[in-house]
Amino acid sequence: GIQVEQSPPDLILQEGANSTLRCNFSDSVNNLQWFHQNPWGQLINLFYIPSGTKQNGRLSATTVATERYSLLYISSSQTTDSGVYFCAVPQGAQKLVFGQGTRLTINP
């Protein structure tokens, strides 16, 4: 099956810093989702981004499908950005295969 790898596994930053999270996948895909899992366990949709670049406020994402990777950018980090960020790609009948996540900690 398809493999999804995320890096780095952990990231600790000061408030106001910028960060880049990476997601590599082992096979061609027709869509990709980025999620934020907050400290209460809720999985929040950030982006549905099969290819190209999308922006939503301080967050943006770029997927280069031909090179099998996606990047999530967070600018001017806030403490509320803390949590685990997952990317996920479809396999077979559209079930999502998740990476292991990047745990982001933003210190005040």
Partner 1 sequence: EAGVAQSPRYKIIEKRQSVAFWCNPISGHATLYWYQQILGQGPKLLIQFQNNGVVDDSQLPKDRFSAERLKGVDSTLKIQPAKLEDSAVYLCASSSYGGQPQHFGDGTRLSIL
**Residue closer to partner 1 (CB basis): 69 or 101:** 101
Q: How far is the CB of 76 from partner 1 (least distance, A)?
A: 26
**Residue closer to partner 1 (CB basis): 49 or 74:** 49
Q: How far is the CB of 40 from partner 1 (least distance, A)?
A: 8
The contact set with partner 1 (CB under 8 A) reads 4, 30-31, 33, 35, 40-43, 45, 48, 86, 88, 90, 92-96, 98-101
DSSP codes of every residue in the chain? ---EEEE-SEEEEETT--EEEEEEESS--S--EEEEE-TT--EEEEEE-SSEEEEETTEEEEEEGGGTEEEEEE-S--GGG-EEEEEEEEETTTEEEE---EEEEEE-
**Residue closer to partner 1 (CB basis): 9 or 16:** 9
